Amino acid sequence: MTRRDYIDDPNAPQANALVPAASVVVVNSKFEILLHRRRNNDMWALPGGVMEIGESIAQCATREVLEETGIQVNIEGIVGIYSDPRHVFAYDDGEVRQEFSICFSASVAAGSLQASNESHEVAFVPRADIESLPMIESIRLRINDYHHMVKEAPAIR
């Protein structure tokens, strides 16, 4: 299923679903950030996804990271809460989603990098290389918010 992101676009379709979700900034011992290249839009993103009934939002975050990247994580904190109604995702099945997403910070507990049915590339990426990757602005915002939180380097563009 393909996905198209609309951010501040007056021609965007109207949202017809509000979905709770989690994303995760996973940092390894070299301070590189775990990213995956999504199959549905070919953009680099933080691992994350939709919360399922019967799980907490933190369980959703750890499950999504493992499913999408092969990495088990320890949740360490909250980067931020993201719920911009001007950012919607349109899917080819007709769903137009406004997400309510909590972004967590986490460290690596175990596992090895593996692509999934949702991603065709997975990597720990040095901060300096993130700027050149194709990525939607809401993901860059979360990465910048993480770096601001830990008082690291200036914002990426």
Tens digit of each residue's pLDDT (9 = 90 or more) over 71-118:
999 999 999 999 999 999 899 999 999 989 999 999 999 999 999 998
Q: How far apart are CA 83 and CA 98, in angstroms?
A: 7
Closest CA to 155 of 143, 140, 144, 139: 144
| DSSP label at residue 88 | E
Tens digit of each residue's pLDDT (9 = 90 or more) over 24-76:
999 999 999 999 999 888 999 999 999 999 999 999 999 999 999 999 999 99
111 within 8 A of 71, measured Cβ to Cβ: yes
Closest CA to 116 of 157, 73, 64, 81: 64
Q: How far apart are CA 40 and CA 85, in angstroms?
A: 21
May I ask the CATH architecture of the domain 3-148?
Alpha-Beta Complex (3.90)
pLDDT greater at residue 131 or residue 157: 131
Three-state secondary-structure class, residue 110: strand
Closest CA to 22 of 136, 109, 106: 106
Q: What is the pTM of this model?
A: 0.88
* HSE, side-chain direction, 13 A CA sphere, residue 96: 12
36 within 8 A of 49, measured Cβ to Cβ: no
- Categorize the per-residue pLDDT at 3 as very low, low, confident or very high, splitting at 50, 70 and 90: confident
Q: How many residues in total does the chain contain? A: 157
